[in-house]
Structure 1
């Protein structure tokens, strides 16, 4: 039997994406200034980034990056356990552990790598990982690569989680969930999941990429907001590239588990350490996030204002009190057309389509930050209403006639 031609397979897959309106276009940002950015020669207001606290360009964060780079260079040099572990890495890990109220923390190059590390280091053949159906792709891929059984329960359904755990044979189990779901913006029922994990002798792991910095006392995230600690959530992930405006991720939690990750997790052992300058920038961002409560207060006021305005205009937002405010559309081409109409009016909002969301779940993923002003939010609301009406006026059956390039 002849082997399939991979070029033909790729061409066929591309044709299928084009037919379904699911091609993706990478855009280049040439300059940023707060919530504004220059994209392909046009100045747009950014309502799709994850800089929730407005720290990515804060002078203290940038100064820390520049000063450390000038002193220690641009690279991480080697893996942490060879000679790449720097004092800046150590200081960042200790600061995050103290902030989140955990004994230890371990720094990774990205949240994707961190999730791979946790599940691959702790699970194997005969074990299981039970996950929310809407978990981030990195958690799903991590379970598959760990070689364990992967079971998924209906979104935010603690009873579904316990049914899945009860159905498993003997073996270690991790119950894994996003803290704040990246495409829906809602928060996992962590207190109920903690009870499920305890009853079924499973370890509860929370990927709090979109919660840390935004939710809970001092911005400690969804775990702290649920009044849970290491006893209930032995491991949690805090990303550095969203509310903290820098890059990388930290897994924080039980000291013995963190030590095990440091000694055995392949994504930690076999990759170059994060550049010290990036660790220094993240450390400065963490300190700002801890003390600047006004950033979270302003963000929450902006979220409330946006949602109230959306209700007045009949915009169908999903239920979310987080910085992620999805406008449900359903049709892939409608989502892309609305994103294009918004861009024509100077707003950058991402159209999210399958496989990032379930079939029929296409949406505009609107993200808000402490840097957004009320007048900007009001202008976005008006543009959303007009884009909805414009696209509706060009519909022909179920197909949107208005041409638009895919924006995400």
Structure 2
């Protein structure tokens, strides 16, 4: 039979502890959420919901077409200007998801004649962008800026792009962005930084690591980020110079051929951005809460909103996550290929709206589950 191999593959995944199931999320309050990326707690904020409702009433529920046909509303245009001003760049371009923003940006800025250097901490969307670009791609170890210099110095293709996350999504560690940028500039390469897990968490008032380092607006640096984490909505963004935006509008296939971001998502994200802009202390609060979670669970001091508790064995990680769910706490469970073999883990995410009493309560529950299973958390 043509699909008989599916059963063998499924059996192998189950045996290795890598089977996954889609589990519906319950209504708010059923479980304490330490799994989502709603870092600022804005997904259910009244202003965010009102922004979505107003946009739906004015523009409808769908974009109705690609951005270049009929899918760009005045709301999209105004929101892109707000994003550019907040991030300190000339221009921004909104995509229907962060995944498509990264694929579109990488493939359009490199191409079959290009040369890309990616580090091992890059998100899957950046990896897929590298593959789809048809560029020559070299992968270096995460954070190794000396290897980056060696690779760029020996390239034979002129057009070069370096891609990395600013905050590595699995463990929340910050990449050496300043060093990457210096090396890229010295070798005539462009740097693309995915700030998905930094927006709302790092930098002045949540403007990200690039802003924190004083690199916002650099003409050889492009930022991508998402609307689905700190801004509690849906969508992706590419931000940089006006020339980069113009190039993407003309050449990024995931922009040209995809239906535009739906207006309610744009309206929600725009309202959330205004809330963040008016409450810059939110990013300090989420980091404070992450530090408290890490301290009480035995994790490493975090550099972002992510706290990673390495269990090791994937079966044990699944068991621990299920145990946490059983005591009313939803945590992330990350296994290969999301993480290297032997480093399966619980991934806890802080939110700015968590009280200290609630953090103390849920972390006690988590510790009880881990202790009951005899799980010793690794670094």
**Which residue does the alignment assign to 2:279?**
292
- Residue 125 of structure 2 is aligned with which of 100, 125, 138? 138
Q: Which runs of 5+ in 2 are unaligned?
A: none
Distance in 1, Cα, partners of 2:190 & 2:70: 32
Decide which structure has the larger Cα Rg and report it: 1
1:229, distance to aligned residue in structure 2 (A):
2.2
**Which residue does the alignment assign to 1:206?**
193
Distance in 1, Cα, partners of 2:44 & 2:219: 35
Render the CA deviation track for 1:307-328: whole Å, top value 9, x for unaligned. 3323xxxx2x245221010001
1:298, distance to aligned residue in structure 2 (A):
2.0
Give SS of 2:70's match. helix
1:13, distance to aligned residue in structure 2 (A):
1.3
**Which residue does the alignment assign to 1:323?**
305
Written as runs of structure 1 = structure 2, the 5 A alignment for 1:175-194 is 175-194=162-181
Distance in 2, Cα, partners of 1:124 & 1:295: 39
Render the CA deviation track for 1:218-262: whole Å, top value 9, x for unaligned. 211110112212226521012100001011011110110110001
Question: Structure 1 residue runs of 4+, over 3 Å off?
Answer: none
Written as runs of structure 1 = structure 2, the 5 A alignment for 1:107-122 is 107-122=94-109
Q: Does structure 1 retain, via aligned residues, the 8 Å contact 2:217–2:241? A: yes
Q: Which runs of 5+ in 1 are unaligned?
A: 37-42, 394-408
Written as runs of structure 1 = structure 2, the 5 A alignment for 1:263-302 is 263-302=250-289
**Which residue does the alignment assign to 1:128?**
115
Aligned residue pair count:
376
1:159, distance to aligned residue in structure 2 (A):
1.1
- Residue 346 of structure 1 is aligned with which of 323, 328, 335? 328
Give SS of 1:177's match. strand
Q: TM-score, length-normalised on structure 1?
A: 0.89
Distance in 2, Cα, partners of 1:358 & 1:256: 38
Moved more, 220-229 or 318-327: 318-327
Distance in 2, Cα, partners of 1:81 & 1:213: 30
Give SS of 1:82's match. coil
Render the CA deviation track for 1:298-352: whole Å, top value 9, x for unaligned. 2222122223323xxxx2x245221010001111111111111111111111111
Distance in 2, Cα, partners of 1:284 & 1:231: 27
1:380, distance to aligned residue in structure 2 (A):
2.4
Give SS of 2:157's match. coil
- Residue 334 of structure 1 is aligned with which of 316, 324, 329? 316
Q: TM-score, length-normalised on structure 2?
A: 0.96
Render the CA deviation track for 1:124-168: whole Å, top value 9, x for unaligned. 223211111011000001100110112111111111222222232
